[in-house]
């Protein structure tokens, strides 16, 4: 098959969308498919066949995020020249909108995927009034495509309530060979961060931003660290809330910025527990990576995270309305009970090992093939 994938985020940006799409491209190419990837240009990057790099600019209020402005005269003819059998639009901003209109106009089969609860983000940036407008746009956008792929059953239920139709489950996988408890770099990271064998290390991985509810997490972890002097914290990631949280957790926390690949896996393995308080996740890739690394997860059971974290099996799932003090108490339950922590660690690892990228991407490719067979394009095979 010839497939065009359109996204407004990709490597070297570090987030769940870029990681998932990277895995998708890798899998499809391994099956002999021809992939055209249309994505932002983040600077001086090597030329790669069938990658179309679009000019992107940083958001004024969030400079680490770069999005293409609405000038795509050079993109649409490149799609026509490639002659895809199917177009998959992964993001719904101006680039995705331009390609959607083009695909509909030229009767090219087009599907979409839903990755980010942008309407929920509005509440964290004091523009809650815009939520209804964003939901209306998302409903129109996704209902214009043949199928929309969604990472969790919880998110499917939420989108159905918005009136979005033709939703299909496309969960996330994890490389359990890369992310595992016995990483050779575990001790190196702990020594580098000045953690000793007595310390219980709690990790967070992700953007340090309001939409990830990190101020709440910082308050909860401050309570836990104050109650147990041996508790230490690792924050892997960056974002606009980092400075304030560093000051709040001064002395007990280490902030190491974004990490990737083997280095990221080593940082997970250096921890003993994983804490995650986001209320806006459609899945939560970092949660499954933490589980593969043998970390019990303490999380708020909201969005896609509610599908993964199971109390007394692989972690503790708290009511989304739980207070920071209640979150801290759950963390301390595991800090104080080594046997429970070890049992949940085994459960977390087992759960993650059942979620392979190959199986998940294979099912998505089967859906592609069915749509291509049913909807003949104007392009020759």
- Fold annotation for 2-173+356-374: Rossmann fold (3.40.50)
Taking every pair of Cα atoms in the chain, the longest distance, rounded to a whole number of angstroms, is 67
* Pairwise CA distance, residues 116 & 125, whole Å: 15
- What pLDDT score was predicted for residue 381? 44
In this structure, the number of other CB atoms found within 10 A of the CB of residue 304 comes to: 28
* Pairwise CA distance, residues 106 & 354, whole Å: 40
pLDDT surpasses 90 at 33: yes
- Tokens 């020594």 found at: 191
pLDDT in tens, 331-377: 999 999 999 999 999 999 999 999 999 999 999 999 999 999 998 75
Rg (CA), the chain: 21
pLDDT in tens, 292-310: 999 999 999 999 999 999 9
- Tokens 């990681």 found at: 19
- What pLDDT score was predicted for residue 290? 98
pTM: 0.89
Q: In Å, how far from its chain's centre is CA 146? A: 23
* Pairwise CA distance, residues 214 & 75, whole Å: 37
- Fold annotation for 186-353: Rossmann fold (3.40.50)
pLDDT surpasses 50 at 380: no
Task: Say if CB 298 and CB 327 are below 8 A apart.
Answer: yes
Task: Say if CB 298 and CB 275 are below 8 A apart.
Answer: yes
Angle at 166 between CA 160 and CA 171, to 5 degrees: 80
More confident residue, 327 or 48: 327
pLDDT surpasses 60 at 378: no
pLDDT surpasses 50 at 318: yes
- What pLDDT score was predicted for residue 121? 54
pLDDT surpasses 50 at 228: yes
Give the dihedral sign, CA 94/98/99/104.
positive
Are the folds of 2-173+356-374 and 186-353 the same?
A: yes
pLDDT in tens, 169-195: 999 999 999 999 999 999 999 999 999
Domain ranges (residues) in the chain:
2-173+356-374, 186-353
Closest CA to 278 of 123, 58, 107: 123
pLDDT in tens, 98-126: 999 999 999 999 999 999 866 555 555 55
* Pairwise CA distance, residues 330 & 175, whole Å: 28
């Amino acid at each position: 098959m010839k497939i065009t994938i359109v996204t407004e985020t990709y490597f070297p940006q570090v987030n769940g969308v870029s990681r998932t799409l990277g895995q998708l491209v890798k899998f499809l190419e391994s099956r002999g498919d021809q992939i055209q990837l249309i994505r932002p240009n983040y600077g001086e990057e090597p030329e790669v066949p069938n990658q179309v790099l679009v000019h992107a600019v940083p958001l004024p209020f969030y400079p680490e995020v770069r999005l293409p402005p609405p000038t795509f005269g050079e993109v649409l003819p490149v799609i026509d020249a490639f002659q895809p059998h199917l177009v998959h639009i992964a993001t719904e901003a101006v680039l995705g909108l331009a390609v959607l209109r083009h695909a509909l106009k030229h009767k090219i089969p087009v599907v979409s995927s839903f990755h980010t609860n942008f309407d929920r983000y509005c509440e964290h940036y004091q523009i809650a009034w815009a939520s209804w407008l964003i939901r209306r746009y998302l409903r129109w956008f996704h209902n214009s495509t043949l199928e929309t792929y969604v990472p969790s059953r919880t998110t499917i239920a939420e989108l159905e309530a918005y009136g979005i139709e033709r939703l299909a489950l496309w969960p996330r996988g994890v490389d359990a060979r890369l992310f595992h408890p016995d990483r050779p770099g575990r001790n190196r990271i702990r020594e580098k961060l000045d953690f000793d064998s007595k310390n219980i290390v709690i990790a967070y991985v992700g953007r340090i931003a309001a939409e990830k509810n990190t101020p709440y997490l910082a308050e909860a972890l401050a309570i836990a660290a104050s109650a147990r002097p041996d508790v230490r914290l690792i924050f892997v990631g960056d974002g606009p809330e980092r400075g304030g949280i560093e000051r709040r957790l001064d002395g007990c926390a280490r902030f190491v910025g974004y990490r990737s690949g083997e280095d990221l896996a080593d940082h997970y393995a250096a921890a003993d527990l994983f804490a995650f308080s986001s209320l806006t996740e459609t899945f939560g890739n970092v949660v499954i990576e933490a589980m593969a690394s043998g970390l019990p997860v303490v999380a708020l059971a909201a969005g896609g995270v509610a599908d993964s974290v199971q109390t007394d099996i692989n972690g503790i799932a708290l009511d989304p309305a739980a207070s920071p003090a209640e979150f801290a108490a759950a963390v301390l339950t595991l800090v104080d009970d080594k046997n429970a922590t070890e049992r949940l660690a085994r459960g977390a690892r087992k759960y993650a090992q059942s979620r392979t990228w190959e199986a998940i991407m294979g099912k998505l490719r089967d859906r592609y093939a069915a749509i291509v067979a049913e909807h003949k394009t104007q392009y020759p095979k």
